[in-house]
Amino acid sequence: GADARDEDPRPGGPADSPFVRACRRQPGPHTPVWFMRQAGRSLPEYRAIRANVGMLESCRRPDLVTEITLQPVRRHAVDAAILFSDIVVPVAAAGVDLDIVPGTGPVVAEPVRTLTDVERIRPITRDDVSYVDEAVRMLVAELGDTPLIGFAGAPFTLASYLVEGGPSRTHAKTKALMYGQPELWHALCGRLAEVTLAFLRVQVAAGVSAVQLFDSWAGALSEADYRRFVLPHSAGVLAGLADAGVPRIHFGVGTGELLTAMGEAGADVVGVDWRTPLDVATGRIGPDRAVQGNLDPCVLFAPWPVVEAEVRRILEQGRAAPGHVFNLGHGVLPETDPDVLTRVVALVHELSAQSGDR
Ligand code: CP3
């Protein structure tokens, strides 16, 4: 067909890697594994590089982005790299005054309250994020056959930071706007979906082998509200990438009740946190999408025999899925011993290669 994904990839190249094959529900030599937040504070080499550079500044320097992205690939031999950036990078490029505060996360100077605030979020082009374009090109050249994952934040999770002004446990202001001013809500999410899609298309044009749309906080919503207020906007982003020829992953935390709807939003792979076993998740998502997950990041603090048993259980339950990418159920915590991550990668590879059907 005319679809880029039907073309035969170069054998052994990133588009034929175990990771991309699993995303496409094709068999491979082993179950691929990478970790959300694999580049970050768990690594001493990351802390060294970031010692005197602010988070947003580091995201805007292609040399630093390249080095930080490569660190976990060298150390752990993961099956994919993920671009070092943050979900608020394109929002800052769109003109929103914000910072990423150590130990807190994104903080927005003037939270969004009105339609004028929404219209101040400018649509972005490649030139607004040229440093990302450059970093991706450098990384693709360095990585060879290892695929690079691009990513962006989904409209709900971005909207939460913009409306709350920072991280929130309840998302109370966000929900107040959503329920109280639905037209303003849809205008905001529509604009954020545009920015997100443009940001992801820049990454695809520069050569990423897959994209992940993070809707980390969508689990705060009921399924009915997710379908009404969020799904159409996320579906717009994912549909805008349908011709991009790369697998699309869609992830959120606490989304057990939303997995069916999140699958319908149009991704090729649905990320699952540790609360829902992968066989149960597959029952909810259906046979047409692969799953990604779902080791509890806190299990990495347990004695190794516990870690090993959990990895075995997840690989077993992942066999019910039409494709499985091993990952954590959420990001690596900063206190994690990186040597445990390295051992998990080796164990996933060893156990899944033995079972021989992936
Ligand atoms: O996964 C990777 O290795 C790629 C890098 C990446 C970062 N942020 C780097 C980062 C990715 C994929 C993100 C996405 C992101 N950012 C999400 C979605 C994923 C998720 O965890 O749910 C969200 C919600 C954010 C917003 C954000 N940015 C938070 C909550 C934080 C942590 C605040 C803190 O200090 O604990 C950030 C900052 C951030 N983004 C750091 C990193 C490595 C830490 C900053 C530092 O090292 O000083």
What's the confidence (pLDDT) of residue 354? Answer: 81
What's the confidence (pLDDT) of residue 173? Answer: 98
37 known ligand binder: yes
**38, 87, 99, 161, best to mutate for ligand 1 pocket (most atoms within 8 Å of CB):** 87
- Beta carbons within 8 Å of 239's beta carbon, 6+ residues apart: 266
**53, 76, 100, best to mutate for ligand 1 pocket (most atoms within 8 Å of CB):** 100
| 41 has catalytic annotation | yes
∠ CA 43-63-131, rounded to 5°: 115
CA distance 201 to 3: 16
Task: Tell me if 151 CB under 6 Å of ligand 1.
Answer: yes
Helices (H) and strands (E) in the chain, counts: 16, 9
- Beta carbons within 8 Å of 165's beta carbon, 6+ residues apart: 107, 108, 111
What's the confidence (pLDDT) of residue 231? Answer: 98
86 known ligand binder: yes
Task: Tell me if 251 CB under 6 Å of ligand 1.
Answer: no
**In whole angstroms, what separates CA 163 from the centre of its chain?**
22
pTM (2 d.p.):
0.96
What's the confidence (pLDDT) of residue 3? Answer: 43
CA distance 22 to 31: 7
| 228 has catalytic annotation | no
What's the confidence (pLDDT) of residue 47? Answer: 97
What's the confidence (pLDDT) of residue 287? Answer: 96
| 284 has catalytic annotation | no
Q: How far is CA 136 from CA 61, 125, 127, in A?
A: 11, 16, 14
Transcribe 242-256 into DSSP letters. TTS-S-EEEE-SS-G
Q: Tell me phi and psi for residue 17, to 5 degrees.
A: -75, 160
Transcribe 101-114 into DSSP letters. ETTTEEEESS---S
* The two structure tokens encoding residue 349: 């590879």
Cα of 107 from ligand 1 centre, angstroms: 13
What's the confidence (pLDDT) of residue 6? Answer: 47
Task: Tell me if 280 CB under 6 Å of ligand 1.
Answer: no
∠ CA 98-59-327, rounded to 5°: 105
| 161 has catalytic annotation | yes
**Running DSSP on this structure, what letter comes out for residue 128?**
G
Q: Tell me phi and psi for residue 183, to 5 degrees.
A: -70, -45
Amino acid at 16: D
What's the confidence (pLDDT) of residue 14? Answer: 97
* The two structure tokens encoding residue 185: 């809500």
Q: Which residues of the chain have pLDDT under 70?
A: 1-7, 356-358
Task: Tell me if 35 CB under 6 Å of ligand 1.
Answer: no
What domains are there in the chain, each with its CATH number? Answer: 36-289 (3.20.20.210)
What's the confidence (pLDDT) of residue 356? Answer: 57
What's the confidence (pLDDT) of residue 4? Answer: 46
